[in-house]
A and B are shown apart, each in its own frame.
Chain A
Amino acid sequence: MSDAEAPSTTPAMPDPAITIENLGKRYTIGHQRANVDGLRHAIEGAIRNPLAWLRSSRQKKLQHVDFWALKDVSLQIQQGEVVGIIGRNGAGKSTLLKILSRITIPTEGRFRINGRTASLLEVGTGFHQELTGRENIFLNGAILGMTRAEIIRKFDEIVEFSGVEEFLDTPVKRYSSGMYVRLAFAVAAHLEPEILIVDEVLAVGDAAFQKKCLGKMGSFAQSGRTVLFVSHNMEAIRTLCQRCVWMKDGRLHKDGKADEIVEAYFNSISSEQSFSCSNPDYGLTIQKVVLRNDRGEESGQFRPGEDLIVEISYDAHKCIEKPIIALGVLGVNGSCFTSNMLLDGHRPDFLNGVGKITCTFRSIPLLPQNYTVKMIIRSANVKDLIVNYQEVAGFSVVGDLAEYGYKGEFLTFARHSTPVVVPYEWRFPDGTTAAVALNRPTALVADPRT
Chain B
Amino acid sequence: MLVEVKMHRTPIKTSPSPDLSLVTKNLATKPMALSDSFGTSSPGQLLIEAGSTERQYWRDLWRYRELFYFLAWRDLLVRYKQTVVGVSWSFIRPLLTMIVLTVVFGKLGKMPSGGVPYPLLVFCGMLPWQFFSTAVTESGNSLVSNSNLISKVYFPRLVIIGSSVITSFVDFLISAAFLVVLMVWYHYAPPVAVLFLPLFVMLVFGASLGVGLWIAALMVEYRDFRFIVPFIVQFGLYISPVGFQSGVVPERFRLLYALNPMVGIIDGFRWCLLGARNGIYRPGILIAVIDVIVLVASGIWYFRKTEQTFADVI
Candidates A99, A106, A116, A122; contact of B43 at CB < 8 Å? A116
Distance between Cα atoms of A121 and B31 in the complex (Å): 26
Candidates B48, B70, B151; contact of A102 at CB < 8 Å? B48
B13 touches A103 (CB 8 A): no
B50 touches A144 (CB 8 A): no
Distance between Cα atoms of A125 and B149 in the complex (Å): 6
Task: Decide if A255 is an interface residue (CB 8 Å cutoff).
Answer: no
A157 touches B42 (CB 8 A): no
Which residues of chain B are within 8 angstroms of A103 by Cβ–Cβ distance? 150-154, 311
The distance from the CB of A110 to the nearest CB of chain B, in whole angstroms, is: 4
Distance between Cα atoms of A295 and B222 in the complex (Å): 60
A138 touches B70 (CB 8 A): yes
Please classify the interface of chain A as helix (H, G, I), strand (E, B), loop, or mixed, using the class held by over half of its residues.
mixed
A134 touches B20 (CB 8 A): yes
Given contacts A148-B19, A155-B23, contact A125 B148 (CB under 8 A): yes
Q: Scoring B residues 1 to 44 as 1 if CB is less than 8 Å from chain A, else 0, what string do you get?
A: 00000001110110101011011001101010010011001111
Candidates A38, A110, A128, A135; contact of B224 at CB < 8 Å? A38
Given contacts A31-B313, A35-B221, A101-B153, contact A169 B13 (CB under 8 A): yes
Chain A 148-192 residues near chain B, CB threshold 8 A: 148, 150, 152-157, 159-160, 165-166, 168-169, 171, 192
Q: Which residue of A lies closest to B154 (CB)?
A: A102
Q: Which residue of B lies closest to A166 (CB)?
A: B10
B149 touches A143 (CB 8 A): yes
Given contacts A135-B17, A157-B31, contact A144 B153 (CB under 8 A): yes
A134 touches B148 (CB 8 A): no
A147 touches B151 (CB 8 A): no
The distance from the CB of A132 to the nearest CB of chain B, in whole angstroms, is: 9
Given contacts A38-B222, A103-B153, contact A108 B70 (CB under 8 A): no
B50 touches A121 (CB 8 A): no
Q: Scoring A residues 113 to 139 as 1 if CB is less than 8 Å from chain B, else 0, what string do you get?
A: 111110101100110101100110011
A192 touches B37 (CB 8 A): yes
Which residues of chain B are within 8 angstroms of A125 by Cβ–Cβ distance? 148-149, 152-153
The distance from the CB of A160 to the nearest CB of chain B, in whole angstroms, is: 8
Candidates A117, A131, A145; contact of B74 at CB < 8 Å? A131
A128 touches B45 (CB 8 A): no
Given contacts A109-B50, A114-B45, A156-B23, contact A104 B308 (CB under 8 A): yes
Distance between Cα atoms of A153 and B24 in the complex (Å): 10
Distance between Cα atoms of A39 and B70 in the complex (Å): 33
The distance from the CB of B138 to the nearest CB of chain A, in whole angstroms, is: 16
Given contacts A130-B78, A138-B70, contact A113 B45 (CB under 8 A): yes
Which residues of chain A are within 8 angstroms of B17 by Cβ–Cβ distance? 134-135
Distance between Cα atoms of A112 and B56 in the complex (Å): 13
Distance between Cα atoms of A98 and B152 in the complex (Å): 8
Given contacts A38-B224, A39-B222, A119-B154, contact A128 B74 (CB under 8 A): yes
Which residues of chain A are within 8 angstroms of B223 by Cβ–Cβ distance? 35, 38
Task: Decide if A27 is an interface residue (CB 8 Å cutoff).
Answer: yes
The distance from the CB of A278 to the nearest CB of chain B, in whole angstroms, is: 41
Which residues of chain A are within 8 angstroms of B13 by Cβ–Cβ distance? 168-169
Listed from nearest, the 10 A-B pairs whose CB atoms lie closest are A110-B49, A142-B70, A39-B224, A102-B154, A165-B10, A39-B222, A105-B308, A104-B311, A125-B152, A113-B46
Q: What 6 new A-B contacts, CB under 8 Å, besides A31-B312, A126-B153, A156-B26?
A: A34-B221, A130-B81, A130-B82, A131-B74, A143-B149, A169-B15
